[in-house]
Amino acid sequence: MAGPERRKKPRLTGDVDGEARIIPPTRDMTYSLPSGRHLASARRREIYVHASRLFVEQGYDATSMSDIARAVKITKAGLYHFVESKEDLLFTIINWGMDELYEEVVDPARAVEDPRERLRLIIRNHLSNIGRVASPYGNPVTRVVDEASALGPERRRAVEDRKRGYFELIRNTLVQLRDRGELADGIDPTVAAHSIIGAIMWMARWRRPRGRLSLDEVIEQITALTLQGVLAAGVAD
Amino acid sequence: MAGPERRKKPRLTGDVDGEARIIPPTRDMTYSLPSGRHLASARRREIYVHASRLFVEQGYDATSMSDIARAVKITKAGLYHFVESKEDLLFTIINWGMDELYEEVVDPARAVEDPRERLRLIIRNHLSNIGRVASPYGNPVTRVVDEASALGPERRRAVEDRKRGYFELIRNTLVQLRDRGELADGIDPTVAAHSIIGAIMWMARWRRPRGRLSLDEVIEQITALTLQGVLAAGVAD
DNA sequence: CCGATCTAACCTACCGATCGGTAGGTCGCA
DNA sequence: TGCGACCTACCGATCGGTAGGTTAGATCGG
- For the stretch B11-41, pLDDT in tens is 222 222 223 333 333 323 233 344 343 456 7
More confident residue, B56 or A14: B56
The CA–C1' separation of B85 and C10, in angstroms, is 18
Better-predicted residue by pLDDT, B35 or B67:
B67
pLDDT at A121: 98
| Cβ separation A221–B192 shorter than 8 A | yes
pLDDT digits (tens, 9 = 90+) for B81-127: 999 999 999 999 999 899 999 999 999 999 999 999 999 999 999 99
Please choose, from the candidates B63, B83, B79, B93, the residue with its C-alpha nearest in 3D space to the C-alpha of residue B155. Answer: B93
Enumerate the residues of chain A whose CB falls inside 8 A of the CB of residue B150: 62
Quick one: what percent of chain A has pLDDT higher than 70? Answer: 78
Please determine, for residue A139, whether its predicted confidence score (pLDDT) is greater than 70. Answer: no
Residue B126: the pLDDT is 96
Q: What is the pLDDT of residue A87?
A: 96
pLDDT of A14:
25
Instruction: Report, as an integer, the average pLDDT of A67-91.
Output: 96
**HSE (side-chain half, CA atoms, 13 Å) at A66:** 1
With a CB cutoff of 8 Å and minimum separation 6, the contacts of B224 are A184, A186, A187, B236
Distance B40 CA to D27 C1' (A): 21
pLDDT for residue B140: 63
Cβ–Cβ under 8 Å, residues B231 and A224: no
Looking at chain A, the whole-number percentage of residues with pLDDT higher than 90 is: 67
CB B170 within 8 A of CB B193: yes
d(CA B3, CA B89) in angstroms, rounded, equals 14
B157 CA from D29 C1′ (Å): 53
Quick one: which of B140, B165, B59, B49 has its CA closest to A150?
A: B59
Pairwise CA distance, residues A66 & A63, whole Å: 8
Average pLDDT, chain A: 82
Q: Among the listed ranges A25-29, B72-76, B100-104, which one has the minimum average pLDDT value?
A: A25-29
Task: Tell me the CA end-to-end span of chain B in Å, nearest whole number.
Answer: 52
pLDDT at B128: 94
Among candidate residues B181, B173, B179, the one with its CA nearest the CA of residue B226: B173
A222 touches chain B (CB under 8 A): yes
Give how far B135 is from chain A: nearest CA, Å: 16
**Is the CB of residue B198 less than 8 Å away from at least one CB of chain A?**
yes
How large is the average pLDDT for residues B117-145?
81
Q: What is the pLDDT of residue B43?
A: 87
Burial of B179: CB neighbours in 10 Å, binned 0-12, 13-18, 19+: exposed
Predicted pLDDT at A43: 87
Q: What is the mean pLDDT of residues B139-154?
A: 84
| Residue A79 pLDDT exceeds 90 | yes
pLDDT at residue A206, as a whole number: 93
Helix (H) or strand (E) segment spanning residue A135: none
CA of B85 to C1' of D26 (A): 29
CA distances from B89 to A159, B27, B42 (A): 32, 25, 16
pLDDT at residue B52, rounded to an integer? 92
Whether B204 has a pLDDT exceeding 70, the answer reads: yes
- Which of B70, B187, B199 shows the shortest C-beta gap to A198? B199
Q: What is the pLDDT of residue A135?
A: 56
User: Are the CB atoms for B162 and B102 separated by under 8 Å?
Assistant: yes
Share the mean pLDDT of chain B: 82
Lowest-pLDDT choice from A44-58, A130-144, B43-57, B169-183: A130-144
Calculate mean pLDDT across residues B192-208: 95
Instruction: Among A186-195, A207-216, B180-189, name the one with the lowest average pLDDT.
Output: A207-216
Domains and CATH numbers, chain B: 38-83 (1.10.10.60), 85-230 (1.10.357.10)
Task: Tell me whether A214 touches chain B (CB under 8 Å).
Answer: no
* CB atoms near residue A101 (< 10 Å): 23
How far apart are the C-alpha atoms of A130 and A143, rounded to whole Å?
Answer: 10
Type of residue found at A24: P
Which nucleotide lies at the shortest CA–C1' distance from B62? D15
Q: Taking residues B116-139, what's their average pLDDT?
A: 83
* pLDDT of A12 over the 80 cut: no
**pLDDT for A72:** 95
Q: Do B224 and A187 touch (CB under 8 A)?
A: yes
How confident is residue B236, by pLDDT bands cut at 50, 70 and 90? low
- The pLDDT value given to residue B169: 98
Report the alpha-carbon distance of residue B103 to residue B93 in Å, rounded. 15
Tell me if chain B has a CB within 8 Å of the CB of A64: no
Q: What's residue B64's pLDDT?
A: 97
What's the whole-number mean pLDDT along residues B217-223?
Answer: 98
Q: How many CB atoms are located within 10 Å of the residue B10 CB?
A: 14
A34, A111, A183, B93, B227 from A158: Cα distances, Å: 22, 25, 32, 33, 35
Output the pLDDT for position B162.
97
Cβ within 8 Å, pair B224-A186: yes
Given a cut of 70, is residue B10 above it in pLDDT? no
Check if B218 contacts A (Cβ < 8 Å).
yes
Minimum-distance CB partner of A225 among B67, B70, B230: B230
